[in-house]
Amino acid sequence: MRWLDKILILLNDCFAFGLLRRNYKLHRFHGIINKKYEKKPIALEAYEALAERYAELIDTKSENAYYERPATISLLPEVRGKRVLDAGCGAGVYSEWLIEHGAEVVAFDVSPAMVALAKQRLGDGAEIRRADMEKPLDFLGDADFDIILSALALDYIENWTGVLAEFYRVLKNPGTLIFSVGHPAMRFMLDKREDKSYFDTRLEKTEWKGFGAPYVIVPSYSRPLEAMITPLIDAGFRLERICEPRPGEDFKRADPESYERLSRFPGFICFRAAKD
């Protein structure tokens, strides 16, 4: 090989090495930037602060135990022998019910504290992991579940398009999606802003007192009924049922004052939709 060819090869190798170093540095730089500005789940800090008290009270707190939960469970099909995804599992109360009724459960939540509490509650009874509903659920396979249950979790997601598309992807055909959220009428009435509009999807911050002091400010999104149903249908689901729960006698005995209020005005709304 002539000396000139050797020099050209050496220069080419040096140039290639320089590009590799530059690309590596750019990759690291963008990784640091993306990590720094990555969107944090809006209610993460609130639930981390609430987690222990939430887990202690969730089995007996009237609005949950005697109101939203019975309504949501009433929409479930037979779960025995079914593979169920509990999306936004919190401390694991729904997963526990599902396991007790014969389901195979996979559950996830974005809060590390809630994941730890769910694992403590369920032991080896379910596969539980930390995941963010606002991101692709890459750890779940296509058409892997018979049922998806998501109780009071979608209120913390601004845009439902992505998460509903993922729910549709991981559901079998046929499959069932059950979810509950704050009732839009209730959310609108509680909004004290003079310029409020029912038709807006808006970020609200509420001081939660039901889990004891110190009180925690919990951010969430409220939206009109149309903004709940339209993305559901756009994702490919067929809406089967809507439930606007009313409190029963158990609720009345536990909390007479809230019973009177919720007997006249809705607090939550529950949906059942099908992939078929």
More confident residue, 35 or 105: 105
Q: Which residues of 200-223 are buried (b: 16+ CB within 10 A; e: fewer)?
A: eebebebeeeebeeeebebbbbbb
| pLDDT at residue number 32 | 39
Torsion, Cα of 30, 32, 34, 36 (10° steps): -150
Cα gap 118→197, rounded to integer Å: 37
Tell me: pLDDT of 17 over 70: no
Compute the C-alpha angle 255/256/260, nearest 5°.
120
Residue whose tokens read 């078929």:
276
Structure tokens at 168: 């549709």
**Hey, is 146 helix, strand or coil?**
strand
DSSP H/E element including 62? helix 62-63
Name the least confident of 63-67, 129-133, 211-215: 211-215
Q: Are 276 and 173 in contact (CB under 8 A)?
A: yes
* Contacting residues for 35 by C-beta, under 8 A, at least 6 apart: none
Instruction: Name the band, by pLDDT with cuts 50, 70 and 90, for residue 168.
Output: very high
Q: What is the pLDDT of residues 72-83, one digit of tens each?
A: 999 999 999 999
Q: In this model, does residue 225 exceed pLDDT 90?
A: yes
> Residue 11: pLDDT band by 50, 70, 90 thresholds?
very low
Mean pLDDT value across the chain: 88
The span from the CA of 167 to the CA of 145, in Å, is 9
Burial class (CB in 10 A: 0-12, 13-18, 19+), 27: exposed
Percentage of residues in the chain having pLDDT higher than 70? 86
In angstroms, rounded to a whole number, what is the distance separating the alpha carbons of residues 84 and 171? 9
Q: What would the mean pLDDT of 35-53 be, rounded to a whole number?
A: 83
With CA atoms as reference, report the closest residue to 85 among 276, 239, 275: 275
Q: What is the pTM of this model?
A: 0.85
Contact residues for 266 (Cβ-Cβ < 8 A; gap 6+): 183, 185, 186, 244, 245
Domain 44-275, what fold? Rossmann fold (3.40.50)
* Domain locations along the chain: 1-38, 44-275
Q: Which residues, including other chains, have CB under 8 Å from residue 220's CB and lie 6 or more apart?
A: 42, 43, 155, 156, 182, 203, 204, 206
- Range 212-228 average pLDDT: 93
Q: How far is CA 161 from CA 137, 164, 234, in A?
A: 14, 6, 8
What is the Cα–Cα distance from 88 to 166, expressed in whole angstroms?
A: 14
With bands split at pLDDT 50, 70 and 90, how would you rate the model's confidence at 24? Answer: very low
pLDDT at residue 22 tops 60: no
Distance of alpha carbon 13 from alpha carbon 198, whole angstroms: 64
**Which burial class, exposed, middle or buried, applies to 114 when counting CB atoms under 10 A from its CB (0-12, 13-18, 19+)?**
buried
Please determine, for residue 214, whether its predicted confidence score (pLDDT) is greater than 80: yes
